[in-house]
Amino acid sequence: MTAKGKIWGGRFSEEIDAIVNKINASIDFDKRLYKEDITGSIAHCKMLGLKGIIPNAEADLIIKALKEILGEIENNLIIFDGYEDIHGLVETLLIEKVGPVGKKLHTGRSRNDQIALDIRIFTKSAAQRAIDLIDELRRSFVRLADKNIDVVMPGYTHLQKAQPILAAHHLLAYYEMFSRDRMRFVNCCNNADVMPLGSAALAGSTFNLDRNFVAEELGFSEISLNSMDAVSDRDFILDYMYSASVLMMHLSRLGEELILWSTNEFNYISISDKFCTGSSIMPQKKNPDLPELIRGKTGRVYGNLMGLLTTMKGLPLAYNKDMQEDKEPFFDTVDTIEICLEVTARLINEINFNRDKMTDAVNKGYLTATDLADYLTGKNLPFRDAHKIVGEMVIYAMKTSRELHELKLEEMKKFYHDIEDDIFSWLDPAETIKKRNIPGGTGPEIVKKRIEQLKAELNL
């Protein structure tokens, strides 16, 4: 297409170099904004008609044609090749349908505020989809926690056994993470809920546009208050991509634990065959590829965020062509987190705990040492002194290849004379957990209460 054939070609006298068309075109990726672009154009056209900026009859004709174009695209009747961007495609198709009247649609707007509108509509929708998918993932965790409320497992710090916890308590830690992710996407949706159309290229319009009408038509809660900021702002995309990055970090941490727990060395869980793959050479293998892929895709989402931050960091006001580079990483991030969330929710529903293995693991490794120190502190010992005594008892038990609960009362009294028979309830992992029924703790009563609360909130 020559410069003269472009929607902006009036000022140009030479044909554009073919390589410029190749690097300048965005239709290959912004075509997925066709619905947002046409929806925005319909609202804009309605307003032009209502304000008498164009005749109502012409507005009706344009709107009818735009709806036809939308249907044709959705029925795969339109070829996108050869157009510069989605705006040019829609406008060209419109003029082909209604003739010169179609050229009036662009009255009072620029591609700058047009793309800002399109991408804000898209962002709001994408953020809401993320919220819905996170909700389903949260339901999966609550269901699995409820199903395994009586399972005790080792809690870890530094990937070393630390203290006994309920498996349900561990699972609900991820519920809290994903709840924070949900709030970030709610905030992202709110930040994108500002209608920029009417800002034109950067200075607003000389036409008496009813921007509030367009905002109401499109479901925006407010309009932008500075035309230069409106066309050059991509903070809302960065909000989404940052939210996605934190989300992927949480999914990656979960994936790492699922991978570890499903190894022969841990053998705490079994992941359904539906969500694993095999080896092309080793017949016995059952590989947790999906958690691994999610762990790997986290770096990809991080990279998308850093790429756009770098693109935006040196741009003067207002719009610059650099900003065309926002869409590919953004769309990729949207697609990536949506498949990762859907896969993870399904996978979590298909996990089974190896209760015997976890019970065995929690009874080895001196996991009740802290409880023993608490017991001694209750005997009027300063905690630091109790800590030292228990450390010595652990060394003694290790030298004799025993656990703390396997020591005899007479042996323990050598370390502190006031230790009594009741000490053994402090050395039983299932019993020590029951002593942690404080808000936020791993005690069965508090965890059960939390699960029932969450089931009510999530309509489970």
**pLDDT tens-digit series, residues 104-130:** 999 999 999 999 999 999 999 999 999
Mean pLDDT of the 170-193 span: 98
Tokens coding 169: 């308590």
Q: How far is CA 392 from CA 371, 373, 414, 460, in A?
A: 15, 11, 11, 48
Domain with CATH 1.10.275.10 in the chain: 3-107
For position 152, what pLDDT does the model report?
97
Mean pLDDT of the 262-269 span: 96
The mean of the pLDDT values for the chain is 95
Beta-carbon contacts of 258 under 8 Å, excluding residues fewer than 6 positions away, are 269, 271, 288, 291, 347, 351
For position 315, what pLDDT does the model report?
95
pLDDT band at 86 (very low <50, low <70, confident <90, very high): very high
Is 158 noted as a catalytic residue in this protein? yes
Quickly list DSSP for 315-332. Answer: PPSS--GGGGGGHHHHHH
* CA nearest neighbour of 307 among 237, 253, 231, 233: 237
d(CA 20, CA 128): 37
Write out pLDDT tens, residues 369-400.
999 999 999 999 999 999 999 999 999 999 99
* CA nearest neighbour of 162 among 368, 449, 420: 368
For position 71, what pLDDT does the model report?
98
3-state secondary structure 359-414: HHHHCCCCCCHHHHHHHHHCCCCCHHHHHHHHHHHHHHHHHCCCCHHHCCHHHHHC
Would the pLDDT of 408 be above 50? yes
- From 41, 87, 270, 279, the catalytic residue: 279
Would the pLDDT of 101 be above 80? yes
Torsional sign, CA 79, 84, 86, 88 = negative
What is the enclosing helix (H) or strand (E) of 155? strand 152-157
- From 13, 158, 401, 417, the catalytic residue: 158
pLDDT band at 167 (very low <50, low <70, confident <90, very high): very high
Tokens coding 276: 């694993």
Percent of the chain with pLDDT over 70: 97
For position 125, what pLDDT does the model report?
98
Helix ranges, 155-313 (H)? 167-192, 211-218, 227-232, 235-261, 289-312
The CATH architecture annotation of domain 362-457 reads Orthogonal Bundle (1.10)
Q: How far is CA 370 from CA 365, 400, 408, 445, in A?
A: 12, 20, 18, 21
Give the SS3 label for residue 197.
coil
Per the CATH hierarchy, to which homologous superfamily does domain 3-107 belong? Answer: Fumarase/aspartase (N-terminal domain) (1.10.275.10)
Would the pLDDT of 1 be above 60? no
Taking a C-beta distance cutoff of 8 angstroms, is the pair 251, 294 a contact? yes
d(CA 392, CA 397): 9
For position 4, what pLDDT does the model report?
45
For position 82, what pLDDT does the model report?
85
Tokens coding 136: 């389903």
Q: How far is CA 325 from CA 56, 88, 322, 328, in A?
A: 37, 18, 6, 6
- Domain 112-204+221-359: CATH class, spelled out: mainly alpha
Amino acid present at 314: G
Q: Which region among 6-10, 135-139, 232-236, 339-343 has the lowest average model confidence (pLDDT)?
A: 6-10
Would the pLDDT of 13 be above 90? no
Domain with CATH 1.20.200.10 in the chain: 112-204+221-359
Is 106 noted as a catalytic residue in this protein? no
Write out pLDDT tens, residues 291-327.
999 999 999 999 999 999 999 999 999 999 999 999 9
Domain with CATH 1.10.40.30 in the chain: 362-457
